[in-house]
Amino acid sequence: MVTVPGVDIGRPAVVIIAGPCAVESEEQLLSTARAVKAGGARILRGGAFKPRTSPYSFQGLKEEGLRLLALARAETGLPVVTEVMDARHLEMVSSCADILQIGSRNMQNFTLLEEVGKCRMPVLLKRGMSATLAEYLQAAEYVMKGGNDQVVLCERGIRTFEPSTRNTLDLNAIPMLKRETHLPALVDPSHGTGHWWMVPRLACAAVAAGADGLLVEVHCDPPSALSDGAHALTPGAFEQMMKEVASIAAAVGRPLK
Amino acid sequence: MVTVPGVDIGRPAVVIIAGPCAVESEEQLLSTARAVKAGGARILRGGAFKPRTSPYSFQGLKEEGLRLLALARAETGLPVVTEVMDARHLEMVSSCADILQIGSRNMQNFTLLEEVGKCRMPVLLKRGMSATLAEYLQAAEYVMKGGNDQVVLCERGIRTFEPSTRNTLDLNAIPMLKRETHLPALVDPSHGTGHWWMVPRLACAAVAAGADGLLVEVHCDPPSALSDGAHALTPGAFEQMMKEVASIAAAVGRPLK
Amino acid sequence: MVTVPGVDIGRPAVVIIAGPCAVESEEQLLSTARAVKAGGARILRGGAFKPRTSPYSFQGLKEEGLRLLALARAETGLPVVTEVMDARHLEMVSSCADILQIGSRNMQNFTLLEEVGKCRMPVLLKRGMSATLAEYLQAAEYVMKGGNDQVVLCERGIRTFEPSTRNTLDLNAIPMLKRETHLPALVDPSHGTGHWWMVPRLACAAVAAGADGLLVEVHCDPPSALSDGAHALTPGAFEQMMKEVASIAAAVGRPLK
Amino acid sequence: MVTVPGVDIGRPAVVIIAGPCAVESEEQLLSTARAVKAGGARILRGGAFKPRTSPYSFQGLKEEGLRLLALARAETGLPVVTEVMDARHLEMVSSCADILQIGSRNMQNFTLLEEVGKCRMPVLLKRGMSATLAEYLQAAEYVMKGGNDQVVLCERGIRTFEPSTRNTLDLNAIPMLKRETHLPALVDPSHGTGHWWMVPRLACAAVAAGADGLLVEVHCDPPSALSDGAHALTPGAFEQMMKEVASIAAAVGRPLK
């Protein structure tokens, strides 16, 4: 069990983490944060430092983004998860985050893993896009070896030959991780599919498969999003998804709170 | 909607198809058939002609296997799905089957697809293990072009880099197929995982993702199975799985009958 | 060593097989056949029965295509390799071919493998697009178990996540197959890349890796080809490629004849 | 063209970079360095900081390893390439290296790429194990955007479903990269195969495909290597490989010096 102020990740509740891919502005972040809180999310996500495939894409608001996340936390009371891309930013990111996210591309950035292993803060370690589950658990071991056992895993889709979806969400990973480790395991159906209209169905599937929570991207205006608008839910779609997820969670005997 | 005597595949019911990987003996088949019927399966599966990677593995009872399937149908009243591997066996297999299965390895055996396209019998066309969804729908088109539109699709796991599971079950395929075609789409969590203990979780996930049914392998004594014992459920485990699947089906507003 | 009239496949010569993807007309086939003979090919390839992803694509000239292949053989003296897709066509195809090709999609069409195993004719068995090398050798075993040990292997690219090429040519396969089996192993750089301008470089790489020959698509007018024009070489480009291949073959101590 | 003291990478010469996976001791490094120089290598490779899948594996000699590399350079006159895993080590590594290597796992460690982009030193950027070529070129762009255009690419095998080799060496990448960019492109047949006995064949294939050089692991005593002994060549095997590579290089009109 990993504990964030006010939220236990791991059994029994299915914990929903939601928010925009990137923090873009005060208004964008606050309106989305309020909406996901109203919809039932328990933790707010939002990227201030954004690892982008191209150097010419929007790279995040960085320090200003962190400031806005702190503001959103103060306003909504939701704890915040945000990505740290570089050990040199760790102090700055830690001061605004409740959970440090290590992104897929950094799953084997071993010196970064060692640094977050020295923190005493929960770490959300996303699976690398072509990492085997054995490699994934060894990456978690890099964090835990440093003394930080507050690690949360997250399946987010793997790279396969199928071109119609951004990634192939590997839900087999959930029962396998549950068997191999005590760590909580979440699912990110947003990156795992790449299409907003598929997200609710895979969110339900993830909970049915035994996931301890979901990481879902929500944007107040997806067509204008500076990154990953194609898989962002509107607040209304998120609210609808939450009703469906609640039914599935109830069917597997788990509350959302 | 595809109709088998007594069963509609497609909305609203989630249809469970269960039985052994291979027909091995009268006793093995009948005991398993009775058990899956008691557990709530609506269609019996069982292989008489078995496509095996090695020529030195058990290849199925062939004609004798078909005879036993007909016997099991007579005894239980369950319609039967069984694989046809060769156009030359089509008449023989058709005489004992209610649904013709085209296996993954034959998804692009185009002359076989054309032949079953000339039948007036439902066809369960499994996805090839490295087929894109676009290729899969074109394979279905080979059947339908011949005039047979009674095609049922089935996601059964794709080949990826992950070694801990036999295949990676691609549940993204379900909402994508639902969007791209009117054909019913099932999921085979047995081949999709390769581990019996994972099957119930992925079966539930499949139903939550919107699958119109499941294809599940059940064996009265998995350790002695002549093929694929590692992912076969015992009758008891199947019964337990059905309870869990029923809860999920109810949560998505679908009956099992 | 596998022997076709006038040609030994296996050491020491590197055997070049060339011709169009599909037989389209007498003029197209004969002009291409003459050109590849002039360029140094020792065997003519050409498809009469074409396995196509879509049922609405050109499916080959079938029986008429076989007649044209026999004509091209009579005119050029080149032995012919052509694909057999269905056991029911075996007698017809055998009467016109010197080597029976089993295509990638049929690598695990086990009843077809068993039938060609009963022939006493060389078989060119292409690797399936997602077959492991272990599965590939077991497929060859299906042929050899029937008593036909005249099997030639052919690496033709595997399916991966890389989208810029049609397949990923797996040249690691050549030394691995050489270590695991006595069977000759060819490479098809046309399907393995999907781009005509890459073919000569990968053809040279294949010979340097130890391939016993090449299977290359050549068309007298690629832009008008009814299938796979994107990777077909013109006769002129083929001639140029042969010079480069001859240098590499010489460097590894093997003749082209 | 990228220039290291005494060596131009890019046409016309094929540049061979060789040395141990990891620097293990003065004797191990110096004996291997002398051997690869004698065999014809023009640049010495050796890892001081080692990114290892497990935190419990040997992690490299770190600063002491860099000192030994400087010593080997002084003794043999060979320029040195070594990996930098963390921006905080950049000054230390730069002081001992002639080329900075960014390993596969860090191909999308964007802050590290930006830092080496501020250096005025050549960078050897290895392809990520599941990176598309488009993503790979965008990673190079992160370095070049900072003003450092001394980037050398290196194909080192991609992750596929094939289990018999450590990776699948993607030689299609070489002509594709040559068409898409002016940057030199090397091949690493050691990681690309995972088996020492396959390395010479794929090294030859790489040169035939148009590679501008090779990165090859050599160890004075592979069975006692602290990492990746399975694909390390002995000095004798390296010498033999160099003869074969020289023949292929000559056949494609390129010297080794």
> Is residue B72 a contact partner of residue B27, using CB atoms and an 8 Å limit?
no
Do the interacting molecules here have an ipTM over 0.90? yes
- Closest-CA residue of chain A to D117: A55
Cα-Cα-Cα-Cα dihedral sign, residues C43, C47, C51, C52 = positive
Computed on alpha carbons and rounded to an integer, the radius of gyration of chain A in Å comes to 16
A-B contacts (CB, under 8 Å): 121
Chains contacting D (3 or more CB pairs within 8 Å): A, B, C
Q: Write down the pLDDT at residue B233.
A: 98
Token readout for D123 is 């960078």
Residue C91 neighbours by CB under 8 Å, 6+ apart: none
Q: Write down the pLDDT at residue B11.
A: 81
> Is residue A201 a contact partner of residue A219, using CB atoms and an 8 Å limit?
no
**Residue A135 to chain C, least CA–CA distance (Å):** 19
Instruction: Check if D160 contacts B (Cβ < 8 Å).
Output: yes
pLDDT in tens for each of the 257 residues of chain B? 899 989 999 989 999 999 999 999 999 999 999 999 999 999 999 999 999 999 999 999 999 999 999 999 999 999 999 999 999 999 999 999 999 999 999 999 999 999 999 999 999 999 999 999 999 999 999 999 999 999 999 999 999 999 999 999 999 999 999 999 999 999 999 999 999 999 999 999 999 999 999 999 999 999 999 998 999 999 999 999 999 999 999 999 999 98
Tell me the HSE value of B153 on the side-chain side, using a 13 A CA sphere: 30
Cβ C204–D209 below 8 Å, yes or no? Answer: yes
Cβ D130–A129 below 8 Å, yes or no? Answer: yes
3-state secondary structure A19-65: ECCECCCHHHHHHHHHHHHHHCCCEEECECCCCCCCCCCCCCCCHHH
Mutation pick from B49, B53, B148, B156 vs chain C, by most beta carbons of C within 10 Å, is B53
DSSP string, B217-255: EB-SSGGG-SS-GGGPBPHHHHHHHHHHHHHHHHHTT--
Report chain C residues whose CB lies below 8 A from the CB of A160: 161
Report chain A residues whose CB lies below 8 A from the CB of C130: 161
Compare CB distances from B109 to C55, C56, C106 and report the shortest one's residue. Answer: C106
Cβ C160–A163 below 8 Å, yes or no? Answer: no
**Residue A158 to chain D, least CA–CA distance (Å):** 10
- Closest-CA residue of chain C to A168: C161
Dist. CA A235–CA D231, nearest whole Å: 53
Mutation pick from C127, C136, C162 vs chain D, by most beta carbons of D within 10 Å, is C162
Instruction: Check if B202 contacts A (Cβ < 8 Å).
Output: yes
Report chain A residues whose CB lies below 8 A from the CB of D105: 108-110
Residue C149 neighbours by CB under 8 Å, 6+ apart: none
Token readout for D253 is 């009109």
All residue ranges of chain A with pLDDT < 70 are: none
Q: Write down the pLDDT at residue D11.
A: 80
Dist. CA C121–CA A213, nearest whole Å: 59
Cβ A201–B208 below 8 Å, yes or no? Answer: yes
Cβ A209–B205 below 8 Å, yes or no? Answer: yes
A183: phi then psi, degrees, rounded to nearest 5:
-70, 145
Mutation pick from B50, B90, B106, B111 vs chain C, by most beta carbons of C within 10 Å, is B111
Cβ A248–B252 below 8 Å, yes or no? Answer: yes
Closest-CA residue to A97 (of A27, A47, A32)? A47
- Closest-CA residue of chain D to B158: D161
Instruction: Check if B243 contacts A (Cβ < 8 Å).
Output: no
Instruction: Check if A111 contacts D (Cβ < 8 Å).
Output: yes
Instruction: Check if A161 contacts C (Cβ < 8 Å).
Output: yes
Compare CB distances from B141 to C55, C85, C106 and report the shortest one's residue. Answer: C55
DSSP string, C124-177: EEEPPTT--HHHHHHHHHHHHHTT---EEEEE--B--S--SSSSB-BTTHHHHH
Chains contacting B (3 or more CB pairs within 8 Å): A, C, D
Pairing of strands B43-45, B15-19: parallel
Cβ C160–D164 below 8 Å, yes or no? Answer: no
Rounded to an integer, what is the distance from CA D55 to the centroid of its chain? 23
Window 70-109 of C, Cβ < 8 Å to B? 85-88, 105-106, 108-109
Instruction: Check if A198 contacts B (Cβ < 8 Å).
Output: yes
Report chain A residues whose CB lies below 8 A from the CB of B254: none
Report chain B residues whose CB lies below 8 A from the CB of A244: 252
Pairing of strands A2-4, A7-9: antiparallel
Cβ C161–D130 below 8 Å, yes or no? Answer: yes
Helix/strand number for chain C, H first, E second: 9, 10
Mutation pick from D161, D162, D165 vs chain B, by most beta carbons of B within 10 Å, is D161
C86 in helix, strand or coil? coil
Dist. CA A8–CA A98, nearest whole Å: 12
Report chain A residues whose CB lies below 8 A from the CB of C159: 161
> Is residue D219 a contact partner of residue D196, using CB atoms and an 8 Å limit?
no
Instruction: Check if C1 contacts D (Cβ < 8 Å).
Output: no
Cβ C197–D179 below 8 Å, yes or no? Answer: yes
Report chain B residues whose CB lies below 8 A from the CB of A192: 172
Compare CB distances from D130 to A85, A111, A130 and report the shortest one's residue. Answer: A130
- Closest-CA residue of chain D to A136: D53
> Is residue D107 a contact partner of residue D71, using CB atoms and an 8 Å limit?
no
All residue ranges of chain C with pLDDT < 50 are: none
Structure confidence by residue, pLDDT tens digits, D114-165: 999 999 999 999 999 999 999 999 999 999 999 999 999 999 999 999 999 9
Report chain D residues whose CB lies below 8 A from the CB of C248: 208, 248, 251-252
Report chain A residues whose CB lies below 8 A from the CB of B208: 201, 204-205, 207-208, 248
Cβ A110–D56 below 8 Å, yes or no? Answer: no
**Residue D193 to chain B, least CA–CA distance (Å):** 16
Report chain D residues whose CB lies below 8 A from the CB of B128: none
Structure confidence by residue, pLDDT tens digits, A173-188: 999 999 999 999 999 9
Q: Write down the pLDDT at residue B244.
A: 98
Dist. CA D256–CA A167, nearest whole Å: 42
Closest-CA residue to A101 (of A199, A242, A4)? A4
Dist. CA D150–CA D99, nearest whole Å: 9
Terminal Cα-to-Cα distance of chain A (whole angstroms): 15
DSSP string, B115-169: HHHHSSS-EEEEPPTT--HHHHHHHHHHHHHTT---EEEEE--B--S--SSSSB-
